Amino acid sequence: MASEMQRYDTNEDDEEMGMDVKEEDDEDEDDEEKNAAMHAIAGFDGVHGSSSSSRFQHHQQYQEQPTPGGSRRCRPLEEKERTKLRERQRRAITAKILAGLRRHGNYNLRVRADINDVISALAREAGWVVLPDGTTFPSRSQPQGTGSAGGTPTTMVTSSSSHIPTQHIPPGSLKGVPSGFQNTDDQSACQMKSVLVPTSSPYDSSSTARSQTSAMVADGLDTQNDPFLVGSADSIDKQVVDIHTKLQERDFAGTPYIPVYVMLPLGVINMKSELVDADGLVKQLRVLKSINVDGVMVDCWWGIVEANAPQDYNWNGYKRLFQVVREHKLKIKVVMSFHECGGNIGDDVCIPLPHWVSEIGRSNPDIYFTDRAGRRNPECLSWGIDKERVLRGRTAVEVYFDYMRSFRVEFDEFFEDGIISMVEVGLGPCGELRYPSNPVKHGWRYPGVGEFQCYDQYLLKKLRKAAEARGHSFWARGPDNAGSYNSRPQETGFFCDGGDYDGYYGRFFLNWYSQVLIDHADRVLSLAKLAFDGTCIAAKLSGIHWWYKTASHAAELTAGFYNPSNRDGYVVIAAMLKKHGAALNFKCAEMRMLEEPVDFCDALGDPEGLAWQVLNAAWDVSLPVCSENALLCHDRGGYNCLLEKAKPLNDPDGKHIFAFTYLRLSPLLMDGQNYMEFERFVKRMHGEAVLEFPS
């Protein structure tokens, strides 16, 4: 019996869940805490069967059994030394974790923080509320299905040192747990060591927090007996809302002034180059001016202005629009849009490329990007014709330059008066610097890896020259094992872990593929700098965040960003932009897809990690960074997230974005509560004090 007890005690020590343990001179308190923890776990695991319950009862009896003479048992000296050694090892690992979180994640952790501080920081980052006493609960509703019939219930497990929400998961579905754990005891033990990390934002509206608490009560939590849920449902709602507001709200009074622009509707100018609904626009601009919005952003569509014939420009509608904006004393951000509008997420109008370009494309479809199956994408022109005179005697780069130069001449007075504050140059699909690797029109759906777009005759010719210059002419081809638009990395031989992407050919191809993207931006921005001398120019970069946690970063590779886990693909882009004095407009600012039926975990996405990498690559070379929200946003939680990205907390260098553009102006934005929240957001972006926090 004694040997069995000693063996069980040793196993208990080996199964401690990474928490700091007390030294042996505090053994009495340690035993009491363990007894309390085991009582809680026994109550939690009571549904797992009699074998688990009997095991806990046996341990409880053993803990309460006195030793001969009435004194408590005492561990051997060598066992104490082993415990101290394990404690030192745990503290060393914790110190390294703290250093990494401070350096790479900008976590504000005290110097002598312990593992509880680390878990609390990570839990808050994942969207949980962690109270000072360790009580932990979700700040926003869990993914769909949680708490409902057939869903995955979330249960609170308490221990002496922390309160970690864990999740019941069917056997074999735990990540990192062998499928052989089919026994209920083994499954329970594994669940106790796992932490459920939701994909919700750390910033949420109070109404959402209230609905989450109500759901918790409705799902059967005993509010009378639970020490953390004492009182009625209404009082719990009030407590959660109060705690949420205090923990999540940050005072931005006195922070740097960040100009706020509002993007105008895509169809504000029609295909005849006429201003649509001038009276309605005037009313909206008055409202924007009344809340001190700094200006508006507008797309100047190539397909409208130069629609009918080469160098036949019609700027009439834009002239009228700019005059209206100037009358309201607002500034203008202009986008040179050399792509088509329509067919992508968020597009509500259709503006194709100029008619005369489409005519050329019918006889020479290689002017468009082409995938491996030969499907053409007329969304924008292939970068293979940047120096090819296939557009009625002009190269693509010459066409872009002539268009920009015409705009600069036509709107000279607006440049001279400072009304036009920035010109963003379209460099690819959706105006972004990337390949059209994930076109919805060709069947792509999130989170597919996309496909390489280098199979038009002009890019293949460049690839052949690069392969011959390398001395391996047989490398003049695209990958034949990279899957299709909706493949996942591990389903392909090219993107899987240890795949061809990191072999000799893979590195050659990806270097060439990404360099074509950088060379295109380099050429166009050099001419934009010449055309708009004295005015800030910018380029937009999209946030391809899915599969970011894989080794290959497959979705980024097909988009042209050579950014696998062993290479920083955004440093070279930042250096190129710095060369031309251009600002970076990073589109994936708020990183929130709570309104969309997507799963970051399933796609191994990391929007936060991607944002951190891109922004720091830009800031390291002192590059001005602008941003805009990728999705519609009308709630306070989304605005808080945008503010945190715009003005990072406790940044030692005081880094912040240069300007922000809100997507987009609509009647919904001007509606009641949405308008009030937006006005409040603008004030905080401007660094003004906000005295009221309306719910």
Angle at 648 between CA 642 and CA 649, to 5 degrees: 120
Where does 78-145 show beta strands of DSSP type E?
A: 128-130, 136-138
Nearest to 433 by CA among 363, 551, 538: 538
| Amino acid making up residue 588 | C
Nearest to 367 by CA among 399, 403, 405: 399
Question: Are 422 and 536 in contact, with CB atoms under 8 Å apart?
Answer: yes
Burial of 15 (0-12, 13-18, 19+ CB in 10 A): exposed
Question: Are 109 and 39 in contact, with CB atoms under 8 Å apart?
Answer: no
Question: Are 245 and 209 in contact, with CB atoms under 8 Å apart?
Answer: no
**What is the DSSP code (8-state) at residue 351?**
B
Query: CA 682, 683, 686, 689: dihedral to nearest 10 degrees?
Result: -160
Residue of 379, 424, 556, 628 marked active site: 628
Q: How far apart are CA 353 and CA 350, in angstroms?
A: 10
Say how many CA atoms lie within 13 Å of 401 toward its Cβ: 16
- For the chain, the straight-line distance linking the first and the last C-alpha, in angstroms and rounded, comes to 62
Q: How far is CA 8 from the centre of its chain?
A: 46
Nearest to 415 by CA among 336, 338, 332: 332
454 φ, ψ to 5°?
A: -135, 30
Residue of 424, 432, 451, 590 marked active site: 432
Token pair belonging to 620: 């390291």
- CA 30, 31, 34, 35 torsion: positive or negative? negative
The string of DSSP codes covering 635-667 is SHHHHHHHHHHHS-TT-TT----SEEEES---T
Distances (CA, A) of 143 to 140, 197, 319, 393, 589: 9, 11, 48, 56, 22
Question: Are 659 and 237 in contact, with CB atoms under 8 Å apart?
Answer: no
Q: Is 432 a catalytic residue?
A: yes
Burial of 379 (0-12, 13-18, 19+ CB in 10 A): buried
Question: Are 532 and 541 in contact, with CB atoms under 8 Å apart?
Answer: no
Q: Please, which residues have CB within 8 angstroms of residue 532's CB and are 6 or more apart in sequence?
A: 404, 408, 415, 423
Strands 368-370, 536-541: pairing is unpaired
Distances (CA, A) of 344 to 34, 159, 396, 430, 564: 57, 49, 23, 8, 27
Outline where 291-436 has alpha helix (H).
302-305, 316-327, 355-363, 396-410, 412-416
Q: Is 628 a catalytic residue?
A: yes
| Amino acid making up residue 465 | K
Burial of 152 (0-12, 13-18, 19+ CB in 10 A): middle
Which positions are annotated as active-site residues?
Answer: 432, 628
